[in-house]
Structure 1
Amino acid sequence: MQNLASGLAITGCGSAVPAASLNNHGLSEIVETSDEWIASRTGIRSRHLASPQESLVDIAVEASRGAIASAKINPEDLDLIILATSTPDDLFGTAGKIQIQLGAKRAVAFDLTAACSGFVFGMVTAAQFIRTGVYRNVLLIGADILSRWVDWNDRRTCILFGDGAGAVVMQANEQDHLLGFMLQSDGTKHDQLNLAYQPEAKPLANLTIGQGGFAPITMNGQEIYRFAVKRVPEVIGKALFHAGCTVEDIDWLVMHQANQRILDAVAQRLKLPAEKVVSNMAEHGNTSAASIPLALDAEIREGRIKVGDKIAAAGFGAGLSWGATIFEWGR
Structure 2
Amino acid sequence: MDQDITPAIPLRILGTGEYVPSRRVPSENFDQRWGKPAGWTRRHVGIDCRYFADAGETASFMAARAAHEALRRAGLEAGVMDAIISVGSVPEQAIPCTAALVQRQLGLSASTIPAFDVNATCLGFLVALDLVAGAFATGRFRRVLLVAGEVASAGLDWNDTDTAALFGDGAAAVVLEGGPQTSDSRLLATHMETHSEGAGFCQVRAGGTRVRLDDGVDAYAEASKFEMSGKATYRLAAQRLPDFMRRLFARAGIPMEELRKLVPHQASAKALDHLEVALRLPPGALVRILADHGNQMAASIPLALHHAIDRGELRQGDRFAMVGSGAGLSFAGAVLRL
What TM-score does the superposition give when structure 2 sets the normalisation length? 0.88
Structure 2: runs of 5+ lacking an equivalent? 1-7
CA offsets 1:210-243 (integer angstroms, 9 cap, x no match): x946420110111111233333343232221111
Say if 2:145 is the partner of 1:136. no
Conservation of the 8 A alpha-carbon contact between 2:185 and 2:317: no
The DSSP-based 3-state class of the residue aligned with 2:90 is: coil
Q: What are the Cα deviations for residues 68-92 of structure 1, in whole angstroms up to 9, with x where unaligned? A: 1222222111001110012222212
Provide the C-alpha distance between the structure 1 equivalents of 2:74 and 2:37, rounded to a whole number of angstroms. Answer: 42
Query: Aligned equivalents of 2:324 and 2:316: distance in 1?
Result: 22
What is the rounded CA distance, in whole Å, between the counterparts of 1:245 and 1:108 in structure 2?
A: 35
Task: State yes or no: 1:101 paired with 2:105.
Answer: yes
Partner of residue 63, structure 2 = 60
Displacement of 1:325 after TM fit?
A: 0.4
Contact 2:30 2:41 in 1 (8 A): no
Q: 2 CA distance for matches of 1:155 and 1:276? A: 30
State which of 194, 197, 220 in structure 2 corresponds to 1:188: 197
Q: Greater share of strand residues, 1 or 2?
A: 1
Q: Residue type matched to 1:38 in 2?
A: T
Equivalent position amino acid for 1:162 in 2: G
Letter in 2 for 1:250: L
Query: How many angstroms does 1:23 deviate by?
Result: 0.8
Query: Per the alignment, in what secondary structure is the counterpart of residue 315 of structure 1?
Result: strand
Q: Deviations for 1:272-291, whole angstroms, at most 9, x for unmatched residues?
A: 11211110111011100001
- Partner residue of 2:78? 75
Change (3 A) 1:180 1:223: same
Q: Are 1:226 and 2:246 an aligned pair?
A: no
Shift of 1:6: 5.7
Matched residue SS, 1:28: helix
Residue 172 (1) aligns with residue 181 (2): no
Match of 1:249 among 235, 258, 261: 258
2:131: which partner in 1? 125
Give 1:259's match in structure 2, choosing from 264, 268, 274.
268
One-letter amino acid matched to 2:212: P
Gaps of 5+ in 1: 204-210
Report % sequence identity: 32
Does the 8 A contact of 2:167 with 2:296 survive in 1?
yes
> For the structure 1 residues 202 and 247, does the alpha-carbon distance in structure 2 shift closer, same or farther, using more than 3 Å as the test?
closer
Check 1:249–1:130 CA distance in 2 against 1; reply closer, same or farther (3 A cut). Answer: same
How far did 1:326 drift?
0.5
For residues 162 and 34 of structure 1, what CA distance do their matches in structure 2 show? Answer: 22
Choose from 11, 19, 24 the match for 2:27.
24
2:43 corresponds to 1:40: yes
What residue is the counterpart of 1:275 in the other structure? 284
SS in 1 for 2:47: coil
Q: Residues 111, 6 of structure 1: CA spacing in aligned structure 2 closer, same or farther, 3 A cutoff?
A: closer
Change (3 A) 1:6 1:44: closer
Structure 2 counterpart of 1:157, from 154, 163, 177? 163
User: Residue 4 of structure 2 aligns with which residue?
Assistant: none
Give the residue type in structure 2 aligned to 1:180.
A
The 1:52–1:312 alpha-carbon spacing in structure 2 relative to 1, beyond 3 Å, is same
Cα distance in 1 between the residues matched to 2:103 and 2:246: 36
Q: Is structure 2 residue 212 aligned with structure 1 residue 199?
A: yes
CA distance in 2, matches of 1:306, 1:34: 43
Aligned residue pairs total 318
SS of 1:229 mapped into structure 2: helix
RMSD: 2.0
Equivalents in 1 of 2:283, 2:236: separation in Å?
21
Alpha-carbon deviations, 1:84-109, whole Å to 9, x = none?
01222221211012112224425211
> What secondary structure sits across from 2:39 in the alignment?
helix
Q: Deviations over 1:165-220 (max 9, x none)?
A: 111111113255111010111222211011111334369xxxxxxx9464201101
CA distance in structure 2 between the aligned counterparts of 1:320 and 1:327, rounded to whole angstroms: 24
Q: How big is the shift at 1:30?
A: 1.8
How far apart in 2 are the matches of 1:69 and 1:243? Answer: 31
> Structure 1's 264 and 202: CA in aligned 2 closer, same or farther, altered over 3 A?
closer
Other structure's SS at 1:22 match: strand
**CA 202–259 in structure 1, closer or farther in 2 if over 3 Å, else same:** closer
Letter in 1 for 2:202: L
